[in-house]
Amino acid sequence: MSEKINMVNMKINGTEISVPENYTILEASRENGIDIPTLCYLKDVSKTGACRMCIVEIKGARALQASCVYPVSEGLEVLTNTKKVRDQRRVTLELLLSDHDRKCLSCPRNQKCELQALADDLGVENIPFEGEMNTYDIDEVSPSIVRDNNKCVLCRRCVNMCKNVQTVSVIDTMERGFRTKVGSAFDMSLADTSCVNCGQCIISCPTGALREKNNTKEVWDAIADDSKVVIVQTAPAVRAALGEEFGYPMGTAVTGKMAAALRRLGFDKVFDTDTGADLTIMEEANELVERIKNGGKLPMITSCSPGWVKFCEHNFPDFLDNLSSCKSPHEMFGAIVKSYYAEKHGIDPKSIFMVSVMPCVAKKFEAGRPEMECGGLRDVDAVISTRELADMIKEAGIMFSKLPDEDFDQPFERASGAGVIFGATGGVMEAALRTAADTLGGKSVEEIEYHGVRGVEGIKEATVNMGGMDVKVAVAHGLGNARKLLESIRDGKADYHFIEIMACPGGCVNGGGQPIVSSKDKMDKDLRVERAKAIYSEDRASGIRKSHENPDMVTLYNEYLEKPGSHRAHELLHTTYTSRGLF
């Protein structure tokens, strides 16, 4: 039974309103149609009142107050738009801009920058405080993330995400006063820290101070090279968010137009990573069943999220044997394309250039791991984010909304609904259970939607009866929740057979490479929920909803892999992990 929330009566700009007593002035104002500007505020991540952009006047108070942290109360009277408030906000913004790299047109966040939008909204036409500026070297050593402090506004949203939500804690504020900056211990590059490359800092940043390492040039170069067969694969979560870059409502699946756009960019073959997800389930479900039947290491933990895997390597090396040995779907699929597909179609695998379009910038790091190769060939040659794909489509002048819906290429155009739900938290678990339940029970299970592992609750638990056996499972998304879950297991407070962990809150739909959503939009919508709707709608519409019932999987195993867990499957589709220090 939900707890009753008391209401309080107050005034905003002379209008009487009634709001829940646990609201802040910012929340009360927004709910009643008043848009107070913010910069350091990010719902569920950062609420510090540090930037002073959201200041308001309060009757009876001597100083202006930050509305994002000021609680409402009975009889409170607030003014949000007086001359004093507007003047102070403008001065604060002008001071921020006076120490900011204002090369906006060449910034990757041009027209998607919250600082730029504020300057426009507040009518800033010149900077009266020109003077000394801080200058910083750009940190671009990481394979995934570029940090440019010349564009940092010290909002600390990235710090709060990294420290409080993800509990990775590799960045913080350093120095004091005018010299304050965001950095890593001993001024190390992100590449030299225990950064897991999840990119949650990127999608938390209001400016261009953090961005992904751009790999579009090498993809364009490969497409232009006639000696290369350039093949692209797209992750499940990409179709759930790509449309946002072209004006579609959040949660719109644009699968057919995405496939059409990729062909028009010049890729030789357009495949679906959902097929790789089906392949992952074939191997992972088999591995789970083998561990349960033969006394293997339990709980088995999923290994699809490279940010989570690196987090485990740094922080929980004692759990490395619990990780599934399966490569992630796009790495598996790359290995299959450069072996089975190349052999079947008479293509020299050395000429294949495999591109993965991912919602996740940690995939860039993963593709470079020395373990991700077979026979001296990298499984995946280049990884681009959803944002980078959108940029390529725009650069090519492709009118996305006018494209016809097209299918993926054969022989991998069919994927199951189980493969597509990989994009949402709980999806890998649910997909694996659909196959494991049939395997353990020896028959097809009709009830295949496991709602106990769906949703955005940080840690979810369920007990599933499979073949007469109760299998205890858990799902965690966001690395702070993963830490809590693993510590409870380590302390003997929890016991499971199977665990799914995703590095990003909400899973891949909220990956660090997905389209940027402003802090204002995040106040009104839970993008994790909205984008997941597109994922589950494709699953329900699919004629095949279990990975092992995908005819392409049946053919692949009959013609090439023999069976899940075979010697060849292990050579191509499985991997090992590395214990790493905290630095």
Long-range contacts of 535-538 (CB under 8 A, 24+ apart): 535/236, 535/237, 535/240, 535/253, 535/420, 535/421, 535/423, 535/424, 535/427, 535/509, 536/421, 536/424, 536/454, 537/253, 538/239, 538/253, 538/255, 538/417, 538/420
Say how many residues make up the chain.
583
Residue type, 196: V
- Sign of the four-CA dihedral 219, 244, 234, 529: positive
- pTM of the predicted model, to two decimals? 0.95
Architecture of domain 7-81: Roll (3.10)
216-573 CATH, one of 3.90.330.10, 3.40.50.620, 3.40.50.1780, 3.40.225.10: 3.40.50.1780
The closest alpha carbon to 422, from 432, 412, 436, 414, belongs to: 432
Given phi > 0 = left and psi -120 to 50 = alpha, else beta, which region is 186? left
The whole-angstrom separation of Cα 172 and Cα 375 is 42
Catalytic residues: 284, 287, 304, 324, 363, 366, 371, 508
Question: Which overall architecture, per CATH, does domain 104-212 show?
Answer: 2-Layer Sandwich (3.30)
CA 283 – CA 429 distance, rounded (Å): 13
Domains 104-212 and 216-573 share a fold: no
pLDDT tens for the chain, 583 residues long, are 456 789 999 999 999 999 999 999 999 999 999 999 999 999 999 999 999 999 999 999 999 999 999 999 999 999 999 999 999 999 999 999 999 999 999 999 999 999 999 999 999 988 998 888 999 999 999 999 999 999 999 999 999 999 999 999 999 999 999 999 999 999 999 999 999 999 999 999 999 999 999 999 999 999 999 999 999 999 999 999 999 999 999 999 999 999 999 999 999 999 999 999 999 999 999 999 999 999 999 999 999 999 999 999 999 999 999 999 999 999 999 999 999 999 999 999 999 999 999 999 999 999 999 999 998 999 999 999 999 999 999 999 999 999 999 999 998 888 899 999 999 999 999 999 999 888 888 888 878 788 889 999 999 999 998 888 899 999 999 999 999 999 999 999 999 999 999 999 999 999 999 999 999 999 999 999 999 999 999 999 998 899 999 999 999 999 999 999 999 999 999 999 999 987 6
Handedness of CA 215, 219, 224, 225 (dihedral sign): positive
Instruction: Report DSSP state, residue 27.
Output: H
Q: How many helices (H) and strands (E) does the chain have?
A: 20, 19
Domain ranges of the chain: 7-81, 104-212, 216-573
Q: What is the CA radius of gyration of the chain?
A: 25
